[in-house]
Chain A
Amino acid sequence: MKDPEQIKELEEQARQVRRDIIRMCLAGKSSHIGTALSAVDMLVVMYFNTLNVNPGEPQWPGRDRFILSKGHGGAALYAVLARRGFFPVADLDGYCSDGSFMIGHCDRKVPGVEVSTGSLGHGLSIGVGMALAARYDKASSRVFVLLGDGECDEGAVWEAAMSAGHFGLDGLTALVDHNKQQALGHVVDVMTLEPLAEKFKAFGWSVREIDGHDIREIVEVLDRTPFEKGRPSMIIANTVKGKGVSFMEDELLWHYKSLTEEEAGKALAELERR
């Protein structure tokens, strides 16, 4: 059990990161704000609690690997990496702007980003390859992959899931940011995934479901991975798209819309309150 002070610190980081995202998306006139906000709490726990990484030496061979497979949530990952010290927070201002290395979808040009993503359904396969390499090398490195729920429409996700189960990769943990929305509507209306947990179980994974915004719960579930020896671990995290900004929560519009100054001001004010 983590001490309450540590949990509070992580919550504070998450609030800070949400503010960063709003500022980045305003400056870069970019979209995909909702998807970034739903993943924030998991990313914060990942980088401030779970992953064995070294911001001073991002390519340190013994590190754990993290892949944000839902690459359109790049703003959230960049903000977390900056807050964790991989590069100056000021660099976030360049997000999506002319000539910037802060590319809209996750890109390896950004220090700390392992894999460039954006084309959905790629990350889990790459994670399987990294986990196979770590196992072959008898390395202690672990591999974590965060998927979107809409992304799970891609067949390649299930090819990868099948292989992770087949190879019994307990060095691999995947999370689904289950915010229940995808590009054209609610997941259940577009292409239902249910029963999602049972599907992954049937593919040989050990599955847990959590509240993807409860920092303590995220910390605890990640601390317990691998859930079972000889099986990959799957965390289905129930989240809310646009989490933390009342007028964005569960609103499909914020998959697309970029912020006006006024909307950004309102969002930042909300994220000021504790």
Chain B
Amino acid sequence: MRDAFVRSLFELAGEDPTVFFLTADLGVFIFDDFKTAYPGRYINLGIAEANMIGVSAGLAASGKMPYAYSIAPFITSRCLDQIRVDICYHRSNVKLVGVGAGFVYGSLGATHHAIEDIAVMRALPGMTVIAPADPLEAEKATRAIHDLDGPAYLRLGRNNDPVVYGSEPGFKIGKANIVRSGKDAAIIATGTAVYSALQAADMLDRDGIDVRVIDMHTVKPVDMEAILQAEEEAGALITVEEHNILGGLGSAVAEVLSEHTGVKKPFRRLGLKDTFCTSVGTPEYIREQYGLDPKNIARTIQDILADGSR
């Protein structure tokens, strides 16, 4: 997803002279083309995220559109007060881009895992939160936030992210993509968890269980219609996110269900259970450790379908 973002941003910079790229000293080599083509619009602020956010707001106040880039926890919680005041309160047209969604940086440890970023960004008034599922969708999202007037947080994987879309997906902010149809159960997932959800659906398919998979790329504003339709049409609902169980996608879906229907179908949320991810390893290994791998997602659906309780 990172390379897809870099490519799209380069194209956007060619089309729109207000596009700036700001980094807190990250992204070695990959932005060299941007830097060469648009030297005045590439700004490395050093390892100083809070300042980078304020500088972004200043640029935006002067009609520029900065994309500010770092590793996900550092572009969100590290500089939260600057985001809250300088970006959100001012409705600055700044795009925050974090790489390393969930535990993409698995072996680097808890400091580099992004497990609260969705919750934290979602709580900020006026912030749009987008977690693409794969590189093609990341390209679309990079463009979509450019066309959005206002702040946005783009939560990316890194490289070697699995491919969900064989061809360019449709992409509209706030409109979920149904990547697999089905009605026995529905999985609502976001970001890198979408691929795991699809694999789980494949496994269940072999047992004759027909599962809808919804790519909720926009966690805020969440697609209420897709959630309510899934609840109406499917036998059970689960959410999957590589994120803490508190405040992320699962919470957003639960909020919609509890207010609109009172939760009519069996419903579970999968995510980190209010814990740091203390084991290190590949993202696949970590998913298994915390029950976010396809097998456990499939098992969860089998269990709730068998149990039937809400």
Contact = CB atoms under 8 A, between A and B. Distances in A.
Of B48, B51, B64, most A-chain CB atoms within 10 Å: B51
B108 to A, nearest CB: 24
* Count class of interface residues, chain A: 20 to 34
B58 A125 contact: yes
For B45, B46, B58, which residue has the most chain A Cβ atoms within 10 angstroms? B58
A125 to B, nearest CB: 2
Contacts of A125: 50-51, 53-55, 57-58, 82, 86
Nearest to A137: B62
Nearest to B51: A159
A133 B53 contact: no
Given A125-B82, A136-B41, A108 B90 contact: yes
Interface in A138-164: 155-156, 159-160, 162-163
Q: Interface on chain B toward A: helix, strand, loop, or mixed SS? A: helix
Nearest to B84: A119
Nearest to B94: A129
Given A132-B55, A163-B48, A156 B62 contact: no
B83 to A, nearest CB: 11
B13 interface: no
B13 to A, nearest CB: 13
A176 interface: no
B154 to A, nearest CB: 20
A112 interface: no
A121 B54 CA distance: 10
A130 to B, nearest CB: 4
A160 B61 contact: no
Interface string B43-72: 101101011011111111111101000000
A162 B46 contact: yes
A117 B57 CA distance: 13
Contacts of A136: 40-41, 64
Given A116-B90, A162-B48, A128 B85 contact: no
B165 interface: no
B54 A126 contact: yes
A132 B59 contact: yes
A130 B63 CA distance: 10
B81 interface: yes
25 contacts: A61-B63, A108-B90, A119-B81, A119-B84, A122-B54, A125-B51, A125-B55, A125-B57, A125-B82, A126-B58, A128-B58, A129-B55, A129-B58, A130-B58, A130-B61, A132-B58, A133-B61, A133-B63, A134-B62, A137-B62, A156-B82, A159-B48, A160-B55, A163-B45, A163-B55
Interface of B: 40-41, 43, 45-46, 48, 50-51, 53-64, 66, 81-82, 84-86, 89-90
The 4 nearest A-B residue pairs measured at CB: A129-B58, A125-B54, A133-B62, A159-B51
